[in-house]
């Protein structure tokens, strides 16, 4: 992790609830030159249901392929999770597959399970093959030290260019029984749908069937992580997994429409959005969080594409970095999206002040808008005047620091 916390960072890592049915620990493989943990190992002694979402990249890592296959072959059951930072294992061909096979074999020997019960993720540099046992050889020693999860240390062990560890959690009731949910995430660059270029691990002691676990993730990843972008670049390693141990003793939920699930679903959405926004706030070099709401589009999907066209515009993002309420660049980015709009009705509101209406500039309180753009949270609304489609997307500004961070990441 970087030493200087981002200006948008939360004050501190939140207090997360205990999640029963999980043992976890962190260790040091040594993939970084400096002293830091780079390995996370988690064990579900009584198993867990698991659901996931993954990068859509065609150059995705063998680790992503491993998880996708295990999820399908194992019927949505999990026993262990192995994650390393410092080397993403992407674009490593047969060597990458061998690393995963060896890691899984070591985890299976310890947890007494089959390879389809082991989930694997990695983040870091692309294209540098590791010896097959690099990760595996550290698992037996780590196994001995595993305890109830210490969330801040787990979050720190998976970070790369992050400037702070990311966590969020909630406790709610399912049918009168308290269940806990805790999540950790890493990510600060190479952030764009689908999905949002990062590692996210969610743990709950609620009892959910594998189908419910997957359905919840599929629905809420689209409303949270798939609405954020830092640089429009999509990682080869995006992995989000939700593990549900059932150790709370709450009744098993087997239908996603079960009304007893509602408070948990709300909590899950909140935790996922919280983590997604923490990723944007840690966007490399970010000094401002930008919320872009698009309404009046042909459809919700069209609204999201327009929103992402704005959110990924380097010209808009640099204008925000400079405190410049340059709504002309919003017009430009709407236009380049290729989505249908009613230009003669196009309207833009910034910080609550309409700056353009009915396809043209209007007189407005520039002092109020300039004051808004001097702040940390930038609010842009675009009405494209066509129909009822609506979406919210989130991004950060593009600063010189982004270029400093990424100009020589490898050295």
Residues 120-139 that bind a second copy (CB under 8 A): 125-129
Provide the annotated active-site residues.
197
**What part of residues 349-368 is at the interface with a second copy (CB under 8 A)?**
356, 358-361
Q: Bridge partners of 174? A: 177
Measured between alpha carbons, how far is 4 from 163 in angstroms, rounded to an integer? 6
Of 30-38, 199-207, 273-281, 307-315, the segment contacting a second copy by CB under 8 A is 307-315
Residues 72-91 that bind a second copy (CB under 8 A): 90-91
Q: What is the DSSP letter of 252?
A: P
C-alpha 130/C-alpha 327 separation (Å) is 48
For a second copy, how many residues bind (rule: CB under 8 A)? 71
Nearest CB to a second copy, comparing residues 118 and 331: 331
Residue 36 burial (C-beta neighbours within 10 Å; 0-12, 13-18, 19+): middle
Measured from the CB of residue 51, what is the shortest distance to a second copy in angstroms?
A: 23
Cβ atoms of 81 and 109 closer than 8 Å: no
Q: Among 95, 98, 108, 252, which residue sits at the site for a second copy (rule: CB under 8 A)?
A: 95
* Cβ 161 vs Cβ 284: under 8 Å: yes
Span 168-197, contacts to a second copy by CB under 8 A:
189-190, 192
Q: Which is nearer to a second copy, 63 or 265 (by Cβ)?
A: 63
Cα-based distances in Å from 188 to 28, 66, 235, 363: 22, 24, 11, 38
Minimum gap (Å) between residue 275 Cβ and a second copy:
22
Is there a contact between 38 and 25 (Cβ–Cβ < 8 Å)? no
Q: How far is residue 80 from each of residues 7, 45, 257, 314, 375, measured CA to CA in Å? A: 35, 9, 28, 41, 44
Q: State the minimum distance, in angstroms, from the CB of residue 340 to a second copy.
A: 7
In the list 236, 245, 278, 295, the residue contacting a second copy (rule: CB under 8 A) is 236
Q: Any idea what DSSP says for residue 18?
A: -
Tell the smallest beta-carbon distance from residue 159 to a second copy (Å). Answer: 18
Restricted to residues 333-352, the positions that interact with a second copy (CB under 8 A) are 333-341, 343-344, 346
Non-local (6+) Cβ contacts of 408 within 8 A are: none
Residue 93 within binding range of a second copy, rule CB under 8 A: yes
Of 67 and 126, the one with the shorter C-beta distance to a second copy is 126
Query: According to CB under 8 A, which residues from 244 to 303 bind a second copy?
Result: none
């Amino acid at each position: 992790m970087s030493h200087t916390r981002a200006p948008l960072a939360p004050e501190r890592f939140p207090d997360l609830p205990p999640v029963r049915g999980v043992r976890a620990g962190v260790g040091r493989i040594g993939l970084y030159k400096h002293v830091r943990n780079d390995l996370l190992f988690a064990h579900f002694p009584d198993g867990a249901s698991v659901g996931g979402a993954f990068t859509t990249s065609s150059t995705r890592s063998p680790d992503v392929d491993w998880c996708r296959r295990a999820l399908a072959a194992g019927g949505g059951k999990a026993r262990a999770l192995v994650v390393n930072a410092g080397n993403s294992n992407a674009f490593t061909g047969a060597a990458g597959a061998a690393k995963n096979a060896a890691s899984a074999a070591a985890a299976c020997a310890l947890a007494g399970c089959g390879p389809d019960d082991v989930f694997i993720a990695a983040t870091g540099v692309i294209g540098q093959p590791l010896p097959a046992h690099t990760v595996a050889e550290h698992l037996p020693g780590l196994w001995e030290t595993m305890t109830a999860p210490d969330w801040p240390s787990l979050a720190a062990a998976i970070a790369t260019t992050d400037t702070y560890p990311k966590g969020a959690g909630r406790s709610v009731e399912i049918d009168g029984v308290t269940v806990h949910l805790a999540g950790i995430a890493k990510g600060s660059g190479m952030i764009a749908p689908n999905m949002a270029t990062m590692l996210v691990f969610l743990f709950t002691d609620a009892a959910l069937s594998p189908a419910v676990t997957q359905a919840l993730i599929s629905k809420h990843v689209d409303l949270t992580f798939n609405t954020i972008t830092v640089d429009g670049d999509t990682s080869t390693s995006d992995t989000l997994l939700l593990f549900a141990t059932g150790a709370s003793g709450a009744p098993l939920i087997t239908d996603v429409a079960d009304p007893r699930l509602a408070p948990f679903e709300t909590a899950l959405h909140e935790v996922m959005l919280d983590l997604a926004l923490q990723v944007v706030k840690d966007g490399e070099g970010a000094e401002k969080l930008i919320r872009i709401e698009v309404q009046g589009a042909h459809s919700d999907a069209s609204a999201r594409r327009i929103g992402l066209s704005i959110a990924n515009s380097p010209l808009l993002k640099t204008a925000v970095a400079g405190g410049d309420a340059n709504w002309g660049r919003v017009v430009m980015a709407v236009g380049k999206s290729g989505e249908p709009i009613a230009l003669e009705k196009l309207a833009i509101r910034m910080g609550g002040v309409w700056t353009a209406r009915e396809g043209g500039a209007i007189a407005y309180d520039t002092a109020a808008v300039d004051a808004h753009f001097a702040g940390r949270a930038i609010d842009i609304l675009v009405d494209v005047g066509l129909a009822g489609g609506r979406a919210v997307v989130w991004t950060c500004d593009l600063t010189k620091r982004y270029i400093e961070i990424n100009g020589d990441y490898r050295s």
